[in-house]
Structure 1
């Protein structure tokens, strides 16, 4: 048998393709199955792309699921705020207005020095960056330098710390004699959990003394999203409405 010429080979392949297309058109079931699998695989691709950062998804990708996309941008914004705000405080939103009857939130942040890391400034920057003048006037920001020697914390020597928060607390403000010695021993023994309990207790008491209706306690390594204040207040209002509705229902059940 002589081999087919290129032109004959083309016509043969074309003829086979035509027969397959005719067969496909003549078979609704085969057409339906083909379309189904095409849509199915397309859906898998879309869902995989949308869910690879979700730890609860079967498509979670541990190699890229924890990539810091928004956090990286927000950290840059927070650090830029810290760098520029103390240089021109006239452009910076005023601190908490003590005469404002609409004060809503006391934010407390205890901080300790971390070897090789500087989270604290980013946390404070992300809390303050993006606030309007009105929003800032409703927030009382209080930070605690949680070292018996505050100079052990690198932020203590920086201008922004003494300009941006409403109050900077030190152990020397409230601990004396045996109490301060006890904290020194906790530092020496690296009893972090016990010491942290003391820090948060003191901050809570100080926030309560401000008479604010709500208190927000944060660690010094968090990053607040842009618009966090509006979202927090909206969530509080929703919780209050739900609590009130539940309380009214409970009263109806009691009666």
Structure 2
């Protein structure tokens, strides 16, 4: 018997060919998706756009070192009515070279227009205690540069009334950084304090909290302001209703808590892992195979021509419905959601998401959230994580949580300030950020500045 002439054998050979081609494609294209079977530990965190953007940030810092007066004159400071209060929170880390905060601030300013600068009040929050001036290597440099609107330290900003007790408490948490509970309390307190500082010292309707080990994309400011205006338009939809406690359905509440500027693909992949039963792949396979089998059997009997039905014998049905369908369903999930579907540009309501590297909060709820976080630091046991507590607050108050794509921030930190291992820290990573194109971002940056501010206010910091 000549196997090559058997329909079942030819179908199996075709299936093996298709799977081989797909696996080869996945090996070369899906290796950066952490929830894909093709993920590579060696190359999954390769840097592409973030390396380009870091070079631009370094160029800005170099220009600032060379001629700080020229940089300050060209950029200026925040206007009288800024739209956003942005806070970089930082503590000193055991790094051999430049501290993370300097690169982060460099990316904040690199290629920024004067119009964007006027719209954003920038605070640098040095959260070391008792004395950032002596504990943080970047304090003196950034203070002298005078490019921020405000520099915050606990020692200089805590109310005199209870300052001594508060400083002693913060210092005790800070010194006990090997204790997970203590560092959580200090971190949550820092977030609460940063929010409170923006509420008390500015009228900005939006408050952005940035960790110091990030890098921001070219044009991040005007893109984020555009996205925030989109959020406000979404909230004015008449189909939305008053915030309610508990489950927040898409399109439901008419108020929101935060807009996410950073997310990692590990947080929006398929749940359940790679197993065949994960994501109910076995149920989906059975349903698809059964429907396809019925369709083929009925078609072979009633309406498919003889020239086709003679190729649809029992072996073909077994290969197609018993092997191919389950295999492709499993491959669909195992390849990774980010690899196959990605995230189209826009602003979306999302409940998943990781980490607190770059979040923009709604001022309307900032004071209440700050109080909520402060209260968490006084609870017995563990205070909770800085990224999870705002989620709990949003749930309790029926507030929407949103994400903006493309993601405009990347996490570069490998030396954690909260005791996270280097291996775990590097996995807080946005694959999509590395796919951004520098030239395209630069062109869109200029276009968006003209459109958003209604005048040609480019004054760009074109370094790099």
How does the TM-score come out when normalised to structure 1? 0.75
Task: Report how far residue 164 of structure 1 moved.
Answer: 1.6
Q: Hey, what's the Cα distance between the residues in 2 that align with 1:160 and 1:83?
A: 16
| Closer, same or farther: CA 36–177 of 1 in aligned 2, 3 Å | closer
> Within 1, Cα distance between the matches of 2:226 and 2:143?
29
| Change in 2 beyond 3 A, CA 1:145/1:162 | farther
- Write out per-residue CA displacement over residues 5-31 of structure 1, whole angstroms, 9 at most, x where no aligned residue: xxxxxxxxxxxxxxxxxxxxxxxxx99
Task: Tell me the equivalent position of 2:131.
Answer: 149
TM-aligned CA distance change 1:248 to 1:171, over 3 Å: same
Partner of 2:415: none
State the 1:241 CA deviation.
2.2
Supply the distance in 2 between the matched residues of 1:138 and 1:248 (Cα, whole angstroms).
Answer: 31
Cα separation, 2, equivalents of 1:243 and 1:72: 36
- Is the Cα contact below 8 Å between 1:109 and 1:217 reproduced in 2? yes
- 1:201 paired with 2:192, answer yes
Question: How far, CA to CA, are the matches of 1:192 and 1:213 in structure 2?
Answer: 30
- Say which of 183, 192, 209 aligns to 2:183: 192
Query: 1:240-251 alignment to 2 at 5 Å?
Result: 240-245=232-237, 247-250=238-241
Residue 114 in structure 1 maps to residue 93 in structure 2: yes
Among 221, 230, 234, the residue aligned to 2:213? 221
1:180 aligns with 2:180: no
* 2:223 counterpart (222, 231, 234): 231
Q: Does 2:174 match 1:171?
A: no
Q: Which runs of 5+ in 1 are unaligned?
A: 1-29
Distance 1:160 1:177 in 2: 25
Moved more, 210-219 or 157-166: 157-166
**Alpha-carbon distance, 1:160 to partner:** 6.0
Cα separation, partners in 2 of 1:114 and 1:89, compared to 1, 3 Å: same
Structure 2 partner of 1:8: none
SS in 2 for 1:110: strand
1:120-165, CA deviations, whole angstroms, 9 ceiling, x for partnerless residues? Answer: 1111111111211100110111011112112110011215664121
Match of 1:133? 114
SS at match of 2:189: helix
Aligned match of 1:21: none
CA distance in 1, matches of 2:85, 2:113: 17
Q: Match of 2:345? A: none
- Which whole-Å CA distance do the structure 2 matches of 1:211 and 1:122 have between them? 28
* Equivalent residues in 2 for 1:41-60, closer than 5 Å: 41-42=20-21, 44-60=23-39
Contact 1:108–1:218 at 8 Å: present in 2 too? yes
Supply the distance in 1 between the matched residues of 2:143 and 2:63 (Cα, whole angstroms): 9
SS in 1 for 2:39: coil
- Distance apart, 1:185 and its partner CA: 2.2
String of CA shifts for 1:67-95, please: whole Å, max 9, x gaps.
Answer: 12222222222122122125243244111
Note the C-alpha offset of 1:198. Answer: 2.1
Q: Which whole-Å CA distance do the structure 2 matches of 1:48 and 1:241 have between them?
A: 42
Q: Which residue of 2 aligns with 1:69?
A: 48
Q: Which 4+ stretches in 1 moved above 6 angstroms? A: 30-40
Structure whose CA Rg is larger? 1
**What count of residue pairs does the alignment treat as equivalent?**
224
Comparing 147-156 with 42-51, which one deviates more in the overlay?
A: 42-51
For 2:13 and 2:186, locate their aligned partners in 1 and report how far apart those are by CA, in whole Å: 65
Q: CA RMSD of the aligned region, Å?
A: 3.0
Give the structure, 1 or 2, with the largest relative contact order (CA under 8 Å, sep 6 or more): 2
Secondary structure, in 3 states, of the residue corresponding to 1:64? coil
Q: What's the offset of the Cα at 1:64?
A: 0.6
Is residue 155–residue 161 contact of structure 1 (8 Å, CA) maintained in 2? no
Distance in 2 (alpha carbons) for counterparts of 1:174 and 1:34:
72
Inter-CA distance 34–217: structure 2 relative to 1 (3 Å threshold): same
